[in-house]
Chains A and B, each alone.
Chain A
Amino acid sequence: MKPAPFRYERAHDLQHALELLAEHGDDALPLAGGQSLLPMLNLRLVRPAVVVDLNRIEGLGDIRTAASGGLAIGARVRHRLLATDPAVRAHAPLLAQAAPWIAHPAIRHRGTFGGSLALADPAAEWPACVLALEGTLVLASRARGERRVAAADFFRGLYDCDREPDELLVGCEVPARAADSRSAFAEVARRHGDYAAVGLAIVARGMPGRGAHVRVALLGAGDTPCVARAAATVLAEGGDIEAAARALVAEIEPRGDLWYSAQAKRHLAAHLLRDTWRTVRDA
C-alpha cells in the first residue's frame, strides 16, 4: 500500500501554487490536510504526477470577516478550528455544530475545510453545510484570476465539482447570519466518526407560515450533497413536520451503500428532519 511515484512540490505562496497548477493541470493534485488524498494515493486510486503542498501558503488557514459582512473561511482552515473559533460560533454556528461529526479528533486537526469542499464527497459534512448556508466558493487561477461560484452550482456529481484543473479553491464565504437565524445538524453513522449513512443540515429564520425562510441540505443522500427544497417549503409555510418528511422522502434520490438501502436512507433522512426541526423550531 505505497503510492505510485509522484513529484512533490511545496508551494511557498499562492502565486507559486497557481503557477504549478497552471503548468501541470490535470497531472497535479493539491495537498492540504491529506486526510483523503494520502489514503487515495496509497490505495493508488489517484496517480498524480505532481502533488502540490499548500501547507506553507500564508493566509489560506485564516477565518476573516468578508466585505459582505459574512465570514471568509480560508481553504486550509482545519476542521478543528471551525468547531472552536468564536467568530464561527457567532456568525455561522451551523459549521460549529457540524464540525464534531467529522471523523475523529486526529483527523479534525489535520483535515481542511477547502479540501473537503474540493473533493466533493457527497458523504462529507462541509458540502452540505455550505449548501444550507448558501455559501460562495472562491477559486483562483493564474490565467483567469479569481472566480466565485455559488455553492448551489459548485457540486456537480460524485467527487466532481466546478473546479478547473488549473484552479485552486482558496476559500468559501458564508453570508452574514440573520439575528433570528437558527440552525441544527445531525447525522446517522454506524460508529462514531464514520462517514454517515445520511446527514442533514437545517437553517431557518422567521416564523413558519409568516415569511419564514428554511434551508435543508443533506449529505449521503445522492451523488452530490443536495438541497431539499420541497421539504423546506412545507416547513417555511408552516406545514406539518410529517408532511415535510413525506416531501423529503419523495424528493431525495439516495443510493444504497454497503450497509443501507436507499429505502433505509430515506427513512433516516425523515428521522433527521424531525429531529433537527424540533431543535430549530423550539430555538
Chain B
Amino acid sequence: MSEPAAPEVAARAAAIGEALPRGDAARLAAGAGRFVDDAAPEHALHAAFLRSPVAHARIRRLDLGPARSMPGVVAVFDGEALAAHCRPMCGVLGHLAGMKAAPQWPLARDRVRHVGEPVVLVLARRRAQAEDAAQAIEFEWEPLPVLAEPEAALAPGVAPLHEALGDNTMFEATVATPGVESAFAGAGAVVERRWETARVTAVALEPRGIVAQWDRHEGRLRVRMGTQVPWMMQAVLADVLGIEWDRVSVVAADTGGSFGSKIHGYADEAAVAVAARLCGHPVRFIADRLESFVSDVHARGHRATVRAAVHADGRLAAFAVDDLCAAGPWSVHPRGSVNESRHVLGLTGACYSVPEYQARIRVAMTNLGLYGQYRGVGHPLACLFTETAVDSLARRLQVDPLAWRLDNLLDDAGPWPRRAPAGATFERLSLRASLRECARLMDYPALREDQRRWRESGDPWRLRGIGLACFVENSNHSSANYGRGGAAIASDDGALVRLTQGGGVACAVGLTDTGQGTRTALAQIAADAVGVPVAAIQMTVGDTDHTPVSGGNWGSRGIGIAGEALWRAGCLLRSRLLEAAGALFGREAAALDLRAGAVVDSSGAALCTLAELARAIYLRPDRFPAGVLPEPAASAHFAQRDLDGVYTNGASASRVEVDLRTGQVRLLGHWIVDDCGTVINPLLADEQLRGAAVQGIGQALFEGCLYGSQGELRNATLADYLVPMAVEMPDIVVGHVGSPTGTSRLGAKGVAEAGVTGAIAAVVNAIDDALAPLGVEMDVLPVTPERILRAAGVLDAEAGSLPGRVRSRQNADDAR
C-alpha cells in the first residue's frame, strides 16, 4: 500500500489504504435512505413550536386556548406544563474554573432570551395543522433590553440575563508566560491583527429531527434521531425525563450531515421527548429550514486582537491573543458553549516555536442564538489569528511567507512530545514536511513567478494572491475535554465482532454515519483485522440497543478511537478463529493465518474457507476435539489515555484573483496536505478534507449570520445566508504526510476537521497577498465584495479609476 500506515496495519493491509467507494452510496443516491422523517410511524403526531419572535422579553400572557380548538390538534404544552414532568439541562463543565450557566428548560418559562427560543409545543395530526395552531396562540410579552453585542453584555452594571448568575460572563481565562511583556517591549518588530468573525451555522442537508415514542410496557423511551452521539443523547434525554439512562434507546440510522450541529441537547428535542411520554403517542419533529437557522447552534463569532513579535533577526519572539466570544443566553448542554475559546487560548501560535505567550479569552452570554460546536470548533480561529499575523510579519519583514514559516515552525525532528505554551501536548507533528509537500503540490515558485509577471503586465484591476496556512488539529480525545467535567460523553468506545453462520463477520460499533462514510471505513478495518474481504463485513452502527458504548462522532475521534477498538476486536476474533481451525485440523494455531476469508498455513495453502469453519463451529461441534469449544466472537474497547488528544497537523494553501471592479474573489486553486497517520480510505479521507475546506472557504467569503441591533437574525433563509456552492469552488488538491500515532495500534488520527482548519486563513492570506500593493489587510469575516472594495479604496476613488499604488502602475501602462 502507498498510503501511510502503522507497521502492524501495513503488514495486514488489503482493504485499508484502498480508495473504496462508500458501500451505501448507491442506496442513498437511489432515494432509499432511512432518515429521521422516514422512521416515523404513519400515525406519529407532528410537533411544531411557537418560538420567540423577540430576543429578550418577559412572558406576560400565553393563551393556548385558541390553539387547542384548532383542527387536528391533540395537545398543546407551555413551559410550565412540561416543567412539572422533567428536569432542566445545564451546560456547565465542572473542571472549568468559574464557568457559569443557567438551567435550561425544554420550553421557556417567565422569560425568552433569544429569537427562536421554543415557547409552546403543539402536537397535531399534520405538521401544517400544528403550524396553524402555533400561529393561533396568543402571546403577549414585555420587551426587555436586548444584549446583542458581547461588549455590552459584559459592561459593568448591565443586568444579567440570568439573575442567579450575577453577571453575563459565561467563562474567562488567561495564560501568560513570565517574559511575555518584555518580549513585546524589546521586539525587533510587532504586528497586530484585529479580527471580527461572523457567526456561522452548519446548514446540514437534513435538518435536526427526532421521533420519540414512550413504550409504556417496557417503561422505555425509544428515540430515532439524526445525531452524532446516540450514547450521549441517551444520558441527556434520560436525565431530562428523570429516568435511568438504560431506559432510553437511541438509534441514529442514515443522517444527512451533522458537522457538530447534532451533538447537543436541544431544548426543542427534549420537549418532544417529554411530550411523547406525557401523551403516549409517537411524536415526530423535523426542524424546518427557518427554525434551523434560529435554533441550531451557531459558531465562530469572535472579536479578537492578536499580536506577534519577532526578534531583531526575524525569529519569532512572542504571540498574544485577546479574544471575546458572544455565546447565546444558554450554554449548550452538556458540552458547553466555551470550547472554541478554549482552543483559541490553547492553540494560537502553537504551530511555531513561541518562547513567550499571552492569551485572554472571555465568553459572554448574550441574546443572540444558541452557540456551540461546529466542525473544527476553535481550531480554525486559532489558525486564522495565528496565520494572518504570520503573513503580516512576513510582509513587515519583507521575507517570503513560505520561507519564514519553514524557519519558524516547530521542527519535525523534535524533540517530541512537546508542550505548547498554553499546555497542549503534541505527540509528534510534521508541520515542515506538510508545508514542503504543499509547496511542491502547488508549485509554489511557479505561482510566485506568475504573480510577479501578473503584477507587471496583467490586468491591473484583477489582483492575484497566494495564501498559506499551517495548522494543528486535535483528535482522538481523552476524557480531558468532557468526561472530566462531568459530561456524559464516553471516551471509551467498544466493538463487537462475531462470525456469522455464513462465514461473514458481523460488527457492532457505536459510531454514527452522518454521510462521511463511517460504515465503509470501519468495514475496511474489520476486514483486515480479521482477514476477510470487505464484502464479508456486516456493520451495525449508531444504535444504543445493539452496539457497545461509544463517544460517537465528534472531534475527529471516530476512526481513531472506535476504529482502534474494532481493530483490536477483529484481531482477537482472528486469533480465536485460528485456534478453532487449529483444533479442527490438528495444527498449531500460531502457524495459521486468515487471509481473504480463508484459513491458510505458513506456505499459504488454504485449509478451509471461513464459511466452512463457520459450518463446523455452528453445525458440527462434534468435529472438534473433546474439551474444545470455539469462541467465534470477540469484544474490545479502547480509550486514548496517553494524551488529552492526539494532534494532527497539516498545511493549506489558496490562490485567488481579486477583481477590484466588483470586489469578487475568484478562487483559482486550493491545496491541503494533512497528516492523519494511518489512512484507512484515501477516497473518504480526501473527500472529508475537501468538504471541510469548502466549509472553510464558505466562512471566509460567503457565510455569516447577520444580526440586527435587537438580536434578530436578518438572513435566516437559504436565499440570504450564502452557503458555498460548487460553481464557485476551485479544484482542491489533497496530499498526505504520514506519521501514525503511537497511542494506538491502528495509528489513525482524525481527518474530519483538518480541511476547514487551515482553509479560512489560507483564503484570507491569499486575499491580503493580492491586496498587498494597496497596503491593506482584511479584518472582518466574511470577506465580502463590499469590504474588499471599501478596503481597497475603490468606492471612494473617482469613478472608473484605480486606487493608490495600483493606479500608478496603470498610468505607467497607459504611458507605454
Which A residues are within 8 Å of any B CB, using their own CB? 1-5, 43-44, 188, 190-195, 197, 242, 245-246, 249, 258-261, 263-264, 267-268, 270-271, 274
Contacts and interface: CB of A to CB of B under 8 A. Distances in A.
Contacts of B664: 188, 190
Most chain A beta-carbon neighbours within 10 Å: one of B131, B288, B715, B800: B800
Contacts of B786: 259-261, 264
Contacts of A245: 799-800
Contacts of B343: none
A251 to B, nearest CB: 13
12 contacts: A1-B288, A1-B289, A1-B290, A2-B127, A188-B664, A190-B722, A192-B725, A194-B719, A259-B786, A260-B785, A260-B786, A271-B661
Given A190-B722, A268-B662, 14 more contacts: A2-B131, A4-B135, A193-B727, A197-B785, A242-B800, A245-B799, A258-B714, A258-B715, A263-B795, A264-B790, A267-B795, A267-B799, A270-B800, A274-B800
Nearest to B663: A264
Given A2-B131, A191-B722, A192-B727, A258 B706 contact: yes
A259 B128 contact: no
Contacts of B290: 1, 43
A191 B727 contact: yes
A191 B725 CA distance: 7
- The 4 A-B pairs at the shortest CB distance, nearest first, are namely A2-B128, A1-B288, A192-B727, A271-B661
B146 interface: no
A274 B720 CA distance: 28
A39 to B, nearest CB: 8
Given A5-B132, A242-B800, A264 B288 contact: no
Contacts of A268: 662
Contact of A264 (B702, B717, B795): B795
Interface in B623-646: none
Contact of A188 (B662, B725, B795): B662
A270 B722 contact: no
Contacts of A194: 719, 722
Nearest to B289: A1
Contacts of B441: none
A275 to B, nearest CB: 8
A257 to B, nearest CB: 9
A190 B135 CA distance: 34
Q: What does DSSP make chain A's interface, helix, strand, loop or mixed?
A: loop
Contacts of B795: 263-264, 267
A267 B702 contact: no
Contacts of A246: 799
Contact of A242 (B131, B132, B794, B799): B799
A270 B728 contact: no
Nearest to B797: A267
Contacts of A195: 719
A197 B664 CA distance: 12
Most chain B beta-carbon neighbours within 10 Å: one of A194, A249, A258, A270: A258
B800 A4 contact: no
B663 A249 contact: no
Contacts, number: 70
A259 B784 contact: yes
B173 interface: no
Nearest to A194: B722
Contact of B662 (A44, A259, A261, A271): A271
A1 B716 CA distance: 13
B702 A190 contact: yes
B757 to A, nearest CB: 24
A195 B132 CA distance: 31
Contacts of A3: 128
Contacts of B719: 194-195
A194 B131 CA distance: 29
Contact of A190 (B128, B661, B714, B785): B785
Interface in B98-143: 127-128, 131-132, 135
A274 B801 CA distance: 12
Contacts of A43: 290, 717
B789 interface: yes
Nearest to B724: A191
A267 B794 contact: yes
A267 B714 CA distance: 24
Contacts of A261: 786
B728 A264 contact: no
A192 B722 CA distance: 11
Nearest to A271: B661
Contacts of A191: 702, 722, 725, 727-728
B606 to A, nearest CB: 54
A264 B784 CA distance: 11
Contacts of A193: 725, 727
A194 B786 CA distance: 16
Nearest to B786: A264
A258 B289 contact: no
Interface string B700-730: 0010001000000011010110100101100
A260 B785 CA distance: 8
A36 to B, nearest CB: 11
Contacts of B714: 258
B567 to A, nearest CB: 43
Contacts of A264: 663, 785-786, 789-790, 795
B727 A267 contact: no
A263 B785 CA distance: 12
A21 to B, nearest CB: 25
A268 B785 CA distance: 10
A104 B659 CA distance: 24
Contacts of A274: 800
Interface in B790-807: 790, 794-795, 799-800
Interface in B278-295: 288-290
A271 B785 CA distance: 14
Nearest to B721: A258
Contacts of A188: 662, 664, 785
A3 B131 CA distance: 9
Interface string B548-577: 000000000000000000000000000000
Nearest to B789: A264
A270 B799 contact: yes
Contacts of A197: 785
Given A258-B715, A264-B785, A270-B799, A4 B725 contact: no
Contacts of B790: 264
A249 B715 contact: no
B785 A4 contact: no
A193 B290 CA distance: 21
A218 B789 CA distance: 21
Nearest to A248: B799
A234 B439 CA distance: 51
A250 B810 CA distance: 26
Interface in B181-210: none
B785 to A, nearest CB: 7
A143 to B, nearest CB: 34
Nearest to A192: B727
Contacts of A260: 785-786
Given A192-B728, A259-B786, A271-B662, A4 B799 contact: no
A193 B724 CA distance: 12
A249 B789 contact: no
Nearest to B291: A1
Most chain B beta-carbon neighbours within 10 Å: one of A4, A191, A194, A260: A191
B284 to A, nearest CB: 14
A193 B718 CA distance: 13
A281 to B, nearest CB: 16
B175 to A, nearest CB: 38
A5 B128 CA distance: 8
Contacts of B288: 1
B727 A258 contact: no
A270 B289 CA distance: 36
Most chain A beta-carbon neighbours within 10 Å: one of B664, B719, B784, B785: B785
A117 B715 CA distance: 25
